[in-house]
Structure formats: structure tokens, C-alpha cells
């Protein structure tokens, strides 16, 4: 099993003031990788967390058990984020359990890579459906719930917060991964257009753009020292990221610490978006 993140005890110690206390968050694809890390940080910051998974209840349950054993509150919720009915049922279940949803972190995503001329319509549509439509469906249910429930000034200045999990590939082109890069480029305009539309309701919408983070999705790119060395040529900060790097920023964007930030992508990438190939004059 992949373990490149802090323990729940270490994560809890980061948030003594519990900035998300009294709030409820849904994190999709939270039985693995970045989503798991984000769920752990958001729970440690005091929120009730719905740990969404599509397959693999054991992993989701293990994350919840660890959070619950360390003073947090987490439940596992199954839903395929590309299914409208499943996403609506997930929100209804979480609202019936915790009363409302304050924070939505659509994170679930996948790759189906192919050279462009070989890319099947199925590979194209599958990636767009999970990565982009899935984020649309979750964000829409979240906005509906924020508007239905109304303000809760005792827990947050915002009516609600959405934190999309995008990628450096919302701006960096990625040959061989055109479907994936297109889905992340789509998230950029989903996030910005939605942020513009709902800002008057005090709903904040932002994205995190991870660079290379050690998770199962990109294991082959960092698993051996040779692969990691090659990857580091793209990362000026000279280390591969870990899920805790993302979890910390997710807590910031979900909390009132970022109350005046909306419509932005925060790249968490060790400088990958700084065109490192130009560092020595290009
Ligand atoms: P991961 O494979 O560990 O996690 C992806 C999660 O999404 C898994 O839990 C998977 O079960 C879930 N998922 C897939 N299809 C789903 C569906 N239909 N419904 C619900 N859940 C579904 O990979 P990760 O690296 O943790 O990726 C998480 C997010 O971060 C993705 O959106 C990915 O594009 C993004 N990201 C990752 C990196 C990186 O370097 N790891 C970089 C940039 C962006």
C-alpha cells in the first residue's frame, strides 16, 4: 500500500484552532491519493467529512476509521461522480446525516492515455465524463444546497466553498494525454465562470492545480530513482510533491482565511508552471 503522507495524529497537530469546526465537507475520490490526504486534513481542521469512493469500500472505511479514531468525524459514501442520480443521492445522504454541506471538494479524476490518432471516443468521453462532468455535477448540487440552506455566520463568512481539484495541465499542454488536459482546461472555465456567477451569493469557488504529487495515478513517474530524477527536471523546487502539500491548501481555500479569494487556481507544483526549461536562457 502506498504511504507517502503524514499520520492522522501529525495532521491533527497542524490545526489546533479547528478552522472548519461545525462545517461539513464532501471530498470525492477520497479513498486514495490526493483525495484521501485532503479528507484527512479537512477532518483534522474540524469539519465532518464525507469520504466518497466509487469502488473499494475497504480503503474508504479505513480512512474514516483512522479519522474517527483521532477525534474527527468521517463517513464513507459510495457514488460514481459521473452519474447525476448517484451524485444527487450522495448529497441527499450527507445532508440527511449532517444537516447540510458547507464545503465541496470535487477531486475524483483519472487518466486514459493514448496517442491522439489512436485515442478512442470511449477514452475521450470517459475521461471528460469523470473529470469534468463529475466536477460539474458535484459543484451544482453543492450550490443548490448552499442556496437552500442560507447563511451560517456562526461557522463561516461564506455561504459555501467549492475547491475543484484541477492540475498544472489546465495550462500546460500534455501530448499523449489530450483528453486529460482538455478535462482540466475545462475545469478552469467551469471554476471561473461559476465563481463569477455565484460570488454575489457569497459562495467562493477556487481550484488547486497540483504539479507532480506522489499518488497511484502517476506511480511510474516517481517509483524508481531513475524515474524520479527525470521528473525532477520539471520541478525547480527539486522535490516531488506529497498529498499533504495539497491537503494544507485545501484547508486554506475552504476556510475563512481565504475569505476574499474566489475564481483562482492555486498551483501547488514546486514551480512546474514556471517553464523550467527556460531557467538557463531557453
Ligand atoms: P488517484 O488515482 O489516487 O485518485 C483518484 C481517485 O478518484 C480514486 O479514489 C478513484 O477511485 C476516484 N475515482 C475515479 N473515478 C471515479 C468516479 N467515477 N467516481 C468517484 N470517484 C472516482 O489519483 P490522485 O493523484 O489522487 O488524483 C486525484 C485528483 O488529483 C485527480 O483529479 C487528478 O487529476 C488530480 N491531480 C493529480 C496529480 C498527481 O500528480 N497525482 C497532479 C495533478 C492533478
Domain that holds residue 64: 8-271
Q: Quick check: is 275 catalytic?
A: no
Residue 47 maps to which CATH number?
3.40.50.720
Cβ(110) – ligand 1 distance below 6 Å: yes
- How crowded is residue 182: how many other Cβ atoms within 10 Å of its Cβ? 18
Cα of 281 to ligand 1 centre, how many Å?
A: 35
According to DSSP, residue 230 is labeled H
**Residue 277 falls within a domain, yes or no?**
no
Q: Do the domain assignments include residue 203?
A: yes
Tell me which H or E stretch contains 9: helix 8-12
Farthest CA pair distance, the chain: 57
**pLDDT by residue, tens only, the chain of 282 residues:** 345 789 999 999 999 999 999 999 999 999 999 999 999 999 999 999 999 999 989 999 999 999 999 999 999 999 999 999 999 999 999 999 999 999 999 999 999 999 999 999 999 999 999 999 999 999 999 999 999 999 999 999 999 999 999 999 999 999 999 999 999 999 999 999 999 999 999 999 999 999 999 998 899 999 999 999 999 999 999 999 999 999 999 999 999 999 999 999 999 999 999 999 999 876
Q: Where are the alpha helices (DSSP H) in 45-174?
A: 57-69, 84-98, 121-128, 134-149
| Position 282 in a domain | no
Number of structural domains (the chain) is 1
Q: Is residue 279 part of a domain?
A: no
Does residue 280 lie within any of the structural domains? no
**Considering the entire predicted model, what is its pTM?**
0.98
CA 210 to ligand 1: nearest atom:
43
Query: Is 17 within a domain?
Result: yes
Amino acid at each position: 500500500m502506498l504511504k507517502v503522507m503524514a499520520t492522522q495524529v501529525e495532521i491533527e497537530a497542524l490545526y489546533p484552532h479547528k478552522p472548519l469546526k461545525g462545517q461539513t465537507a464532501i471530498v470525492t475520490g477520497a479513498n486514495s491519493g490526493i483525495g484521501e490526504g485532503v479528507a484527512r486534513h479537512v477532518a483534522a481542521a474540524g469539519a465532518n467529512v464525507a469520504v466518497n469512493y466509487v469502488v473499494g469500500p475497504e480503503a474508504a472505511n479505513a480512512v474514516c476509521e483512522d479519522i474517527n479514531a483521532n477525534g474527527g468525524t468521517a463517513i464513507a459514501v459510495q457514488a460514481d461522480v459521473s452519474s447525476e442520480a448517484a451524485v444527487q443521492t450522495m448529497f441527499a445522504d450527507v445532508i440527511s446525516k449532517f444537516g447540510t454541506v458547507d464545503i465541496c471538494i470535487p477531486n475524483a479524476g483519472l487518466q486514459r492515455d493514448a496517442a491522439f490518432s489512436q485515442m478512442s471516443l470511449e477514452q475521450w468521453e470517459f475521461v471528460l465524463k469523470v473529470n469534468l462532468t463529475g466536477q460539474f455535477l458535484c459543484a451544482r448540487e453543492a450550490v443548490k444546497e448552499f442556496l437552500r440552506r442560507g447563511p451560517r455566520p456562526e461557522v463561516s463568512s461564506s455561504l459555501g466553498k467549492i475547491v475543484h481539484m484541477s492540475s498544472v495541465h489546465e495550462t500546460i499542454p500534455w501530448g499523449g494525454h489530450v483528453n486529460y488536459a482538455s478535462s482540466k482546461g475545462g475545469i478552469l472555465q467551469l471554476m471561473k465562470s461559476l465563481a463569477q456567477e455565484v460570488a454575489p451569493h457569497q459562495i467562493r469557488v477556487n481550484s488547486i492545480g497540483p504539479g507532480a504529487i506522489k499518488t497511484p495515478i502517476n506511480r511510474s513517474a516517481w517509483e524508481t530513482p531513475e524515474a524520479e530524477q527525470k521528473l525532477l527536471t520539471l520541478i525547480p523546487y527539486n522535490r516531488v510533491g506529497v498529498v499533504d502539500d495539497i491537503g494544507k491548501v485545501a484547508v486554506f481555500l475552504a476556510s475563512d482565511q481565504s475569505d476574499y479569494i474566489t475564481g483562482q487556481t492555486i498551483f501547488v507544483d514546486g514551480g512546474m508552471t514556471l517553464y523550467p526549461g527556460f531557467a538557463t536562457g531557453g
